[in-house]
């Protein structure tokens, strides 16, 4: 039987050409698999037929939108995950979701090799291959753009010569990756880090500077899971989609940053993630109300480490799994409502309500009815500051 290679297929130029290119390089038959993580655009069936027309022996498509929201975006919300304090891990979350389908398809077709369309300079190649190694340690990975020098120009020439049913003219100057959790735009004129982003590059968000009425939303969480918007029950996918619309219309979630890639390069990235930013902002504030201080402080370190592991492609790894256990436990009481104003590019919390609240009005109030015993404060401070005081006696002498 001819060897088979399973390719993660997007329907775009590079992976369409990769089908024939891989077949020529390896002599193998290529099976294409396209995974819908909410990237929008073309119908999955159109993509499936294109893969076949480009020479795939079989083509499979998977609607993984709910799976992506429930199993990948939700843990990121519970972790308040923001790489370098800003980036909600949009692309980093989708790779392990795609890898799962890639490996399952390889198993189904008895393939020993999987392939992806990444270059050799980015994080995504690491995420694909580290993920494949974790889920199918016996599988081999190939990346035609990186391993067979399949440049853009050569890909266009290949597509034209083979008359593949794919547009070769429409050349966007940007490298874009998008899914339901957000959108990443890089390259082109953005590579000059002094250049400001232009309005044209945004698709998920309206210009935050345009005057408009503010929007107000109440997000309800149950144990860290967003379960309702304005009292109407939603799935995690619906929560992200609806907040993409509403927060996106207010210009929320635009991020322009220089970030540290795993491969050592600093790169300029523009992101838009309106739903993700609204949900994480709300979730964070509900934690402020419901999570005990020491747990909350420690969780911040865990969140940062969790985000780095996911960014670095270690979704399927022992430490990430163990931290998931911690994050799950810490979300046990994160139940309640957060009211937010979405306006002018910002998602601002204006109210919180929770049956699990640790906020005690009688302890916090400065009005009469205060139950906090202020007479205990002085003794507490004396002992709390004692070691610093003893050291100061020596240091100031």
Binding site for ligand ARG (CB under 6 A): 91-92, 123-124, 175-177, 184, 186, 269
175 is catalytic: yes
User: What's the gap between Cα 15 and its chain centre?
Assistant: 22
What are the structure tokens assigned to 151, written together? 């440049």
Residues contacting 187, CB < 8 A, separation 6+? 173, 174, 175
Would you say 33 or 217 has its CB closer to ligand ARG?
Answer: 33
Using DSSP, state whether 359 is helix, strand or coil: coil
For the chain, the distance separating the N- and C-terminal CA atoms, rounded to the nearest angstrom, is 85
Burial letters for 51-64: b for 16+ Cβ neighbours within 10 Å, e otherwise?
beebbbbbbbbbeb
124 is catalytic: yes
| Active-site entry in 175, 297, 300, 370 | 175
Are the C-beta atoms of 218 and 337 separated by less than 8 Å? yes
Cβ-based burial of 220 (10 A; exposed 0-12, middle 13-18, buried ≥19): buried
Would you say 128 or 333 has its CB closer to ligand ARG?
Answer: 128
Beta bridge partners of 232: 229
Would you say 46 or 258 has its CB closer to ligand ARG?
Answer: 258
Rg (CA), the chain: 25
Report, in this order, helix, strand and coil percent for the chain, each rounded to 5: 45, 20, 35
Would you say 29 or 269 has its CB closer to ligand ARG?
Answer: 269
Would you say 265 or 381 has its CB closer to ligand ARG?
Answer: 265
| Active-site entry in 4, 48, 50, 95 | 95
CA distances from 255 to 33, 167, 172, 266 (A): 31, 30, 20, 16
| Active-site entry in 10, 14, 91, 312 | 14
14 is catalytic: yes
| Active-site entry in 4, 16, 124, 346 | 124
Instruction: Work out how close the CB of 11 gets to ligand ARG at its nearest, in angstroms, rounded to a whole number.
Output: 14
Cβ-based burial of 48 (10 A; exposed 0-12, middle 13-18, buried ≥19): buried
Instruction: Work out how close the CB of 75 gets to ligand ARG at its nearest, in angstroms, rounded to a whole number.
Output: 16
Instruction: Work out how close the CB of 336 gets to ligand ARG at its nearest, in angstroms, rounded to a whole number.
Output: 31
Instruction: Work out how close the CB of 176 gets to ligand ARG at its nearest, in angstroms, rounded to a whole number.
Output: 6
Instruction: Work out how close the CB of 46 gets to ligand ARG at its nearest, in angstroms, rounded to a whole number.
Output: 21
Give the C-alpha separation, 241 to 237, whole Å: 6
Instruction: Work out how close the CB of 163 gets to ligand ARG at its nearest, in angstroms, rounded to a whole number.
Output: 27
Would you say 111 or 310 has its CB closer to ligand ARG?
Answer: 310
Supply the residues annotated as catalytic: 14, 95, 124, 175
């Amino acid at each position: 039987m001819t060897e088979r290679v399973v390719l993660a297929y997007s329907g775009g130029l590079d992976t369409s050409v990769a089908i024939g290119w891989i077949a020529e390089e390896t002599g193998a038959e290529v099976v294409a698999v396209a995974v819908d993580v909410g990237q929008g655009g073309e119908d999955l069936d159109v993509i499936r037929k294109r893969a076949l027309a480009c020479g795939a022996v079989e083509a499979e498509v998977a609607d993984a939108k709910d799976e992506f929201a429930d199993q990948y975006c939700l843990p990121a919300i519970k972790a308040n995950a923001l790489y370098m304090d800003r980036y909600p891990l949009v692309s980093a979350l989708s790779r392990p979701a795609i890898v799962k389908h890639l490996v399952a398809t390889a198993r189904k077709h008895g393939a020993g090799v999987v392939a992806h369309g990444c270059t050799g300079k980015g994080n995504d190649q690491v995420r694909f291959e580290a993920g494949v190694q974790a889920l199918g340690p016996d599988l081999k990975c190939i990346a035609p753009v990186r391993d067979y020098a399949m440049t853009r120009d050569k890909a266009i020439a290949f597509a034209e010569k083979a008359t593949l049913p794919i547009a070769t003219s429409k050349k966007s100057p940007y490298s874009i990756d998008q899914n339901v959790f957000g959108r990443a735009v890089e390259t082109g004129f953005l590579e000059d880090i002094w250049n400001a982003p232009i309005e044209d590059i945004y698709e998920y968000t309206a210009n935050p500077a345009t005057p408009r009425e503010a929007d107000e939303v109440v997000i309800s969480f149950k144990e860290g899971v967003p379960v309702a918007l304005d009292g109407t029950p939603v799935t995690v996918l619906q929560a992200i989609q609806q907040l993409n619309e509403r927060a996106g219309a207010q210009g929320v979630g635009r991020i322009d940053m220089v970030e540290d890639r795993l491969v050592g390069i600093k790169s300029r990235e523009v992101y838009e993630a309106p739903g993700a930013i609204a949900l994480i902002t709300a979730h964070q504030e509900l934690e402020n109300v419901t999570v005990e201080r020491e747990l909350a402080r420690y969780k911040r370190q865990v969140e940062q480490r969790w985000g780095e592991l996911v960014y670095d492609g270690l979704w399927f790894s022992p430490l990430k799994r163990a931290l998931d256990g911690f994050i799950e436990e810490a979300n046990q009481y994160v139940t309640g409502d957060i009211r937010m104003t979405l306006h002018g590019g910002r998602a601002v919390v204006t109210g919180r309500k929770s049956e699990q609240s640790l906020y005690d009005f009688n302890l916090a109030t400065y009005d009469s009815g205060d139950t906090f015993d202020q007479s205990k404060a002085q003794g507490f401070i004396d002992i709390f500051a004692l070691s610093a005081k003893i050291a100061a006696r020596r240091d100031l002498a």
